[in-house]
Structure 1
């Protein structure tokens, strides 16, 4: 629910966008400019006054409320309880992943064994969980940031480690448009963060291309999954061979 302060912040932005000054607004409403300034400074205004300002802007309240909703900070992660709710139902998890990939409702129904009633139910659940804002005609707006991620050690990632990772890496990665690379090396810690940022940009490029290619016919699109990862790690089979930092080097004979 939008607070009065949120509405007034949005009103100020709309006034600025429309080039309407406080002096202009005061003349339109028959008020003193000082009174207008005081109302906006206190961020407290009755709904009747908000309606009057909207009249000057030629906007309706619903449009202002949408702008307030769009300006709300996006979630970067869910709580563990919310993740547990998502993972408790396999089809709900499927719908969540489809929404994060910005599939349309019709795409989900035509691709997976999900009925329309089930789809509506799952969209409503995702709305309550704060992942999407459900709109009329089963449309939705994502309420998570592009940098959204599941908790690294949370229930969703636990599910993926148990059921998805082995299935994903079981493939040969030798099909059209497929590849698998494992690169090991030692680099500075500050550079590791720079590589993470570059990998995040690759992921964002992939997500944006997915959206752009939705206009292509279905027979020209193929599902791909991009998995990016980087961690400080040594293969378990080699760990017992690693020399301690203070151990002496063996002498040649």
Structure 2
């Protein structure tokens, strides 16, 4: 049981941590407003003033499928950890593929020896990579080529920053080069006419699915490397129809969302 006096004294940090988690999971002010049954303006005011009751904080936690104790843990971890990198650090990562690969694998709990055994990276180059990642505060570089991750649980890349732009560029050109009929593969496509409310409900389900993916990812970290393999999912929803259809729509019948 977390003492109430502690929670109230740390309320600002709690709210800031919660806001970062909501942003990470794509939960908008509008979704929070609907969940709390208050106006969107009221939600924005609550986050700007941090004037949340503990009960409301617990209620908002439901949107990212965590308990209040998980939020407190994320807050405490965030005080000592890295929640985001600078734009300059992200640019450095995407300009050096071996460095980016090393960061990606370490974040996924590979050891240095496992990386060296599986990838063609020279040991001296690896040491330079580790020094650079330590400088970026992604890891602590420890004696014996050991590392300790410094990324907080609510870590996120810069919105539309170098990392996101890099992966967005390669998703369409590489990720979808598959018939998605092999073991472990699945592709789904759905299209229909939805209301704004239904669209928001879909967004909420997608963010919960992402949270479930993250939960499974953390749980599988205890397994041996041979029992795990790289897995990626792409979740997206948007008001959209085929451009060739939209080209035939009368100008006065153009849809706005």
Deviation at 1:73, TM superposition (A): 4.2
Equivalent position to 1:122, from 116, 121, 129? 129
| 1:51-70 map, 5 Å | none
CA distance in 2, matches of 1:235, 1:137: 55
> 5+ unaligned residues in a row in structure 2: which ranges?
1-75
Equivalence for 1:232: 238
**Whole-Å separation in 1 of the counterparts to 2:122 and 2:234:** 33
Q: Compared with structure 1, are the counterparts of its residues 156 and 71 closer, same or farther at alpha carbon in structure 2 (3 Å cutoff)?
A: closer
Give the Cα separation in 1 of the matches to 2:248 and 2:140: 53
Task: Give the drift of 1:89.
Answer: 0.7
Aligned mates of 2:105, 2:124 — CA distance in 1: 17
Deviation per residue, 1:135-169 (Å, 9 max, x gap):
22222222223343323421122222333432111
Corresponding position: 1:202 with 2:208: no
Aligned equivalent of 1:16: none
Query: Secondary structure of the residue that 1:133 maps to in structure 2?
Result: strand
Q: TM-score, normalised by structure 1?
A: 0.59
Q: What is the CA-CA distance between 1:200 and the residue it aligns to? A: 2.3
CA RMSD of aligned residues (A): 2.8
The 8 Å contact of residues 77 and 148 in structure 1, kept in 2 or not, is answered as: yes
TM-score (norm 2): 0.58
Would you say the 8 A contact 2:78–2:153 is kept in 1?
no
The answer to whether the 8 A contact 2:90-2:163 is kept is yes
The structure with higher relative contact order (CA 8 Å, sep 6+) is 2
Q: Is the contact between residue 203 and residue 237 of structure 2 (CA under 8 Å) also seen in structure 1?
A: no
Shift, 1:75, TM fit? 2.9
Number of aligned pairs? Answer: 175
My pick for the range that moved more, 72-81 or 82-91, is 72-81
